[in-house]
Amino acid sequence: MKKSILFTFACLLLGFANLSAQNLSGLSKNLSSSSSQAQMEALFNQPETQKQIATKLNESTELTNEAINHLKNNEETKKEISQVIAKNPTSKKKVMDYITSNPKLLSTVMGYFKSKPELMEKALKLVGM
């Protein structure tokens, strides 16, 4: 009888230890992901990094399209960007040049990229980070 109780106790103990190890593994992955996200944000927030991204933004069709579409759908920037697009309907490069030279629009784009980790990561990769 004592052996069966001891055996049951040992099985329960091993089961809890295994479950705890799995939980710690998942926690470790979450902490690692959070840490890399925080590092990415810290890097992205540096003014020099944002200048580099603004300079190379035209090189990425995806980021260019995301930036323009966000500004077109944003109530605060919709009117201004629509006027710029109307003046340059066939040149996204000219539209992006306008955006990157306008601190308000550029700040809006950078804030949008920061709110979307996948876009922030692509913007950082664009400048080799």
Say if residues 41 and 111 touch (Cβ distance below 8 Å). Answer: no
Report residue 53 as tokens.
């991204």
pLDDT one digit per residue (tens) for the chain, 129 residues: 566 565 555 554 455 444 444 444 443 444 345 568 888 888 888 889 999 999 999 999 999 999 999 999 999 999 999 999 999 989 999 999 999 999 999 999 999 999 999 999 999 999 888
Cα–Cα dist 4/120, whole Å = 58
- Give the number of other CB atoms < 10 A from CB of residue 99: 25
Domain boundaries, the chain: 1-40, 45-129
- Which residue, among 72, 100, 73, 74, has the nearest Cα to 85 in the 3D structure? 72
Q: Give, rounded to a whole angstrom, the gap between the first and last alpha carbons of the chain.
A: 64
Tell me what pLDDT residue 32 has.
45
Residues in contact with 45: Cβ distance below 8 Å, sequence separation at least 6, in sequence order:
114
Separation between Cα atoms, residue 61 and residue 73, nearest integer Å: 18
Residue 33, pLDDT score: 54
What does each C-alpha distance from 82 to 6, 73, 74, 89 come to in angstroms? Answer: 76, 10, 11, 10
Specify the pTM: 0.70
